[in-house]
């Protein structure tokens, strides 16, 4: 058994294919009431890290940060999920009006300031990743609905492609700036789009994959980039060759690979996940979650994976459940 490692050493050992002293673990959630300023967002992230001592931090930014600069309007109400009040795209020609966003003002600057504060607070002891959504998912949030976005994409592809190029260029620049502020990598998320429930695999290859890869390939070397493939019936098998270090998905959703199956498919990279989320995580008992963690450790072994949820977990999750997950990674499997 390796000697006790620091968070950074544990993550690095796992990424390098070596055996860590124990499986690395992290969970992530929104703090809606704290997301409207750079300082309060950073303070919420750092307090969450201090309470649970995760091995890496996935920064959950303001839920709408990626689209506000192009005119997405949202209304916040305390700790409740914000509500969209306006979208900039109404007609197909509106896509042609989009321009790259500056980083020195507005919502993007606020989030870069938050990353600086997080980096100062973590003092290099815990790797942290900034959440960036794929260009297709960002563009989709600019339309009044996913159905309207899909119609525009299929009927006016050249107009939407203009927007995808603008979004991609903006977030290439933003992602580079995140690294400059101390982020160790990206949590690159497909949201609702990399699933056969939303579009065909061929449509994803045509309208999403080129922009996904363009952004990833334009980045400087990073320590720890994760691709998060969201939803059930996902396209993980289509995306497993992306230039990232790790893959995260909900291994419990219908039509998705298990963590063991996904680990075999992305051989040479690591997988992250395995835990409940949503209602199941809220209603589980600490004892049940302890058993699940021990079962995952037994089936996955000691190398090539990290423990986490398949997506952002709900704020209603009891703290006792999170503590049970955190403590279970250090339990001795041989003791029963």
Q: CA nearest 138: which of 108, 109, 176?
A: 108
Residue 255 is classified by DSSP as T
pTM score of the predicted model: 0.96
Q: Which residues pair with 271 in a beta bridge?
A: 247, 305
CB 208 within 8 A of CB 140: no
In whole angstroms, give the CA distance from residue 324 to residue 298: 17
CB 179 within 8 A of CB 171: no
> Would you call 171 helix, strand, or coil by DSSP?
helix
Q: Which long-range contacts (CB under 8 A, 24 or more apart) does 164-170 make?
A: 164/135, 164/136, 164/139, 164/207, 164/211, 165/211, 166/98, 166/99, 166/100, 167/98, 167/135, 167/138, 167/139, 167/211, 168/135, 168/211, 168/214, 168/215, 169/100, 170/69, 170/100, 170/101
Q: Where are the domains of the chain?
A: 23-331
Residues recorded for the chain: 336
Tens place of pLDDT for every residue, the chain, 336 residues? Answer: 578 999 999 999 999 999 999 999 999 999 999 999 999 999 999 999 999 999 999 999 999 999 999 999 999 998 899 999 999 999 999 999 999 999 999 999 999 999 999 999 999 999 999 999 999 999 999 999 999 999 999 999 999 999 999 999 999 999 999 999 999 999 999 999 999 999 999 999 999 999 999 999 999 999 999 999 999 999 999 999 999 999 999 999 999 999 999 999 998 899 999 998 889 999 999 999 999 999 999 999 999 999 999 999 999 999 999 999 999 999 877 654
Residues 6+ apart with CB under 8 A from 19: 2, 13, 302, 303
Architecture in CATH for domain 23-331: Alpha-Beta Barrel (3.20)
């Amino acid at each position: 058994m390796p000697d006790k490692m620091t968070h950074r050493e544990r993550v690095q050992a796992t990424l390098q294919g070596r055996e860590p002293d124990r499986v690395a673990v992290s969970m992530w959630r929104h703090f809606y009431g704290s997301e409207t300023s750079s300082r309060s967002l950073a303070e919420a992230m750092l307090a969450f890290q201090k309470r649970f001592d995760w091995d890496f931090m996935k920064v959950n930014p303001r839920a709408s940060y990626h689209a506000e600069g192009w005119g997405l309007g949202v209304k916040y109400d305390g700790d409740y999920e914000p509500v969209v009040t306006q979208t900039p795209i109404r007609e197909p020609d509106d896509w042609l009006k989009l321009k790259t966003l500056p980083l020195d003002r507005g919502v993007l600057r606020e989030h870069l300031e938050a990353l600086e504060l997080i980096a100062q607070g973590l003092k290099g002891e815990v790797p942290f990743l900034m959440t960036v959504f794929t260009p297709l998912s960002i563009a989709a949030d600019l339309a009044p609905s996913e159905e309207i976005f899909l119609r525009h994409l299929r009927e006016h592809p050249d107009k939407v492609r203009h927007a995808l190029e603008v979004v991609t260029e903006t977030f290439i620049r933003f992602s580079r700036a995140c690294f400059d502020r101390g982020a160790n990598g990206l949590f690159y998320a497909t949201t609702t789009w990399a699933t056969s429930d939303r579009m065909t695999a061929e449509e994803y290859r045509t309208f999403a994959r080129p922009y996904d890869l363009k952004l990833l390939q334009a980045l400087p070397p990073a320590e720890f980039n994760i691709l998060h493939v969201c939803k059930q019936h996902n396209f993980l098998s289509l995306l497993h060759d992306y230039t990232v270090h790790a893959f995260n998905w909900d291994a419990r959703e219908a039509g998705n690979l298990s963590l063991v199956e996904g680990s075999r498919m992305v051989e040479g990279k690591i997988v992250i996940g395995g835990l409940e989320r949503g209602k199941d995580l809220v209603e589980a008992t600490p004892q049940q979650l302890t058993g699940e963690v021990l079962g995952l450790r037994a089936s996955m072994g000691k190398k090539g994976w990290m423990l986490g949820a398949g997506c952002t977990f709900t704020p209603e999750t009891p703290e006792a459940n999170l503590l049970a997950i955190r403590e279970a990674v250090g339990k001795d499997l041989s003791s029963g």
